[in-house]
Structure 1
Amino acid sequence: MRGASAWAPLLLAAAAQLTLQEPTERPVFTCGGNFIGESGFIGSEGFPGLYPPNSKCTWKITVPEGKVAVLNFQSIDLESDNLCRYDFVDVYSGHANGQRIGRFCGTFRPGALVSSSNKMMVQMISDANTAGNGFMAAFSASEPNEKGDRYCGGRLETPGSFKTPNWPDRDYPIGVTCVWHIVAPEDQLIELKFEKFDLERDNYCRYDHMTVFNGGEINDANRIGRYCGDSPPAPIVSETNELLIQFLSDLSLTADGFIGHYKFRPKKLPATTAPPITTTPPVSTGLKPTVALCQRKCIRTGTLESSYCSSNFVLAGTVITTVARGGSLHATISIINIYKEGNLAIQQAGKSMSTKVIVVCKHCPLLKRGLNYIITGQVDEDGRGKIMPNSFVTLFKTKNQKLLNALETKQC
């Protein structure tokens, strides 16, 4: 964590814009407020000192009519968590009931964030524990049709396409965050395909990546997939009339980017409303075999030793989210330790790692939020863990650690 002197250049720059009478005077940041004008600065309470615990601060920004609000984070230092569950900053397009553009925590500084109107809201929430120096951000007004290469995203209500900044002339810039909110008529779904796709490659898509969510919010429970590399995602069909696409580039390598095309189509019968990514279990080629599989009595077979070599992945982790979808359960696992990884897609934020798994029969085996488990299973072509009724899953206890460490060195 930095000392206050390290922030002096940023504070002086802010002071120079905020007051002409005394350019060396440090601005004082308070908890929230209303900010009206062409440009200015906002910051967490007491920045660059530690922000207080158990706080909720809201900043409402209004730039002149006919323009859009643009926010650039100069600095961010909040408690790090892969899901930003504890201390975080939310940025919204508009003031009341606005679309959330993004949620941020840790020390990663996103690129320029653009509102769809002349209003923007920033909200910071902290819990009772770890604190940091907080954040400081500059806001400004921009012409809606002259956003420049660094700006992207927006609300899309008619069929069309979207692309990364600079496409197709050159690579996308570093430090960019783009959020596209696609909204179809209420009685229709959204079909999304990517013509070209090329982002920085990483096995876990920790750096430059695109994430697609069902609905209109960045909500990990509704995440369809996270993508990077140079292989276009399979065609995606929304579960409702809304999709949210978030693109993020970090501060290092870049690539060509992507262009996506979307169209609207009528809702179909339940038999065709499966999740838009390939999540069908390998043992099931249709609905009836899966139903029959899940009607069997749920009895765990085998042992951890016998399951180790036959499984693609073996890990110990905490269940942090569970969402029932049809007859299956989609869960997010915060990883305690991973003993066999295979091609499992793992997301990393700081020192925290998590992964997504699908329990094909949602009650077998039963996963409960907040509990620690040893989980074994297979991995589908999207890198998502698949847990079948015969997969070995048990509560994780300290006494299991010695056996797991021994299995980690086992030659299969």
Structure 2
Amino acid sequence: MEVTGRLFIWAILAVSCGAQLNSTEAEGKSRCTASLGGANLGETHKALVLQLSANENCTWTIERPENRSIRIIFSYIKLDPGSRCETENIKVFDGSSTSGPLLGKACSRNDFVPVFESSSNSMTFQIVTGLTKFPRSVFIFYYFFSAATVIPNCGGDLRALEGSFSSPNYPKPHPELAYCVWHIQVGKGYKIQLKFTDLLLEMDENCKFDFIAVYDGPSTTAGLLKQLCGRGKPTLESSSDAMTVVLSTDYANSYKGFSASYTSIYIHDVNTTSLSCVSDKMRVIISKSYLPALNYNESNLQLNDPTCRPNVSNVIEFSIPLHECGTVKKIEDHAISYTNRITFIESPVSAVITRQKLLQIVVTCEMEYNSTVEIMYITEDDIIQNQSVLGKYNTSLALYESDSFENLVQESPYYVDLNQTLFVQATLHTSDPSLVVFLDTCRASPTSDFASPTYDLISSGCCQDETCKVYPLFGHYGRFQFNAFKFLKHLNSVYLKCKILICDNNDQTSRCNQGCVPRRKRDIPSYKWKTDSVIGPIRLKRDRSASRDSGLLPQIHEAEISNQPLSRLYLFSFMVLALNVVIVAITTVKHFLNRWMDHRYQKLQVY
């Protein structure tokens, strides 16, 4: 009877606990307003899976710490596809309530991945659903970030007719909490073909976590061509001369990211001819419809070197190396120009007369300080036309693991020991073998904007730091080394900015060949081109250890359902029931054991 009574009591407890769970669940469904930050949580990032029903109006508020901004990403939205945006939507507000300024709105009909940022101390988002019974699901990821945190090679503007780019650190794992945007813009009359030569991101059916979003236009509000993740080598094409590529990563499961290249495809005759210049070649496009009007065809075209022939498709394309195909280089004050000539060879029918216009196209790429001037002269019976656009020399600055400069440092931030020797290389990406790179000035700063304080490592080609060593001129590479240090009373990061000069190696009086010049003479030695390159951040290893100890870098996703307190109550109730079952079992065993022992040792009665 004693055991039966205990079981009855425990059964009553279990029923009452289940009733409490049901009551809490009902209460949780009726209230969907919750805080995602503030004093109780304070996470620097969070992932949420929201399961919503019909006729709901739910509001969440995110509170951020000081000196941080908020970014929120709705990477997967499944709302009622038949609803109107006015009746079922997601709205994001700048502030702690829905009365703040509206940052933006999203619904099932949006053709983009909604991303919003707020610089105020809070952000509020509201989800309103319609009356239709439909299983709705929204995946949300938000995190706090600082404007001072700069990820190298994360996004940028790509203006050439062809080029390539990759995720930060590729082929090593991409950084956490990255949001990189590349804007690709080619000439009018072209569309863009984008090829991913390598792609490896976190695998997910709906690409909720790490993803690439490719847009058919100049911004992230243009039509979404595709949202990519996992593994593959897809090829995408734009419908116009602009394309936008976005890489978004969360805080876990980093893989090597992606590598991609793009080229422009001529689609119609906006211009009869066009010219673009990159670091190692000129690219000339001639419309096929332009030639018949002059009684020519593609077989009549010839460069300075007639063995260099064009590629013919829907257009005629010359890809002219800067040091081949008869290209002529000219060096003047602070400028280098490359010129070639396309001539139209007439098929003579008479040695005395002609009825064809005398036509030639002179193409010139002129490299100036921070730009490339592309000039095209079309001479047609002494009539000269010209066309010019702007470009840029391709230079880069990077850290290497040793003085062999073979293993590029892909880690960002780059964690080092105090006083560790660091190796820096500036690279000019060009096919012209007669150019040489010189490091004129290299300066360090604790911030990426290089505001005060700063520290000079190299000035006028001379080392200003006792641990600095500048390597001799070596073709397209400028190299130096120094020992790692830390700025006092400032952030733990170090950024480097170097002014790179490019000279003609055959000019013995150039600034590059002058080397260290402590005092500049009144007549400054010549150089042909200059630019600034920046790398960073570099941080001490102890800072990384402190970051890990603080729990800021979890290794797994913490995707939480909106009724997380309910899940914890279920877990607690299950533990209580399990403990009761164990107590019942122990008590039952003890009861039968005592009875058995009583029978075994029963005393005999004495008469």
With normalisation by structure 2, the TM-score equals 0.25
Bigger-Rg structure (1/2): 2
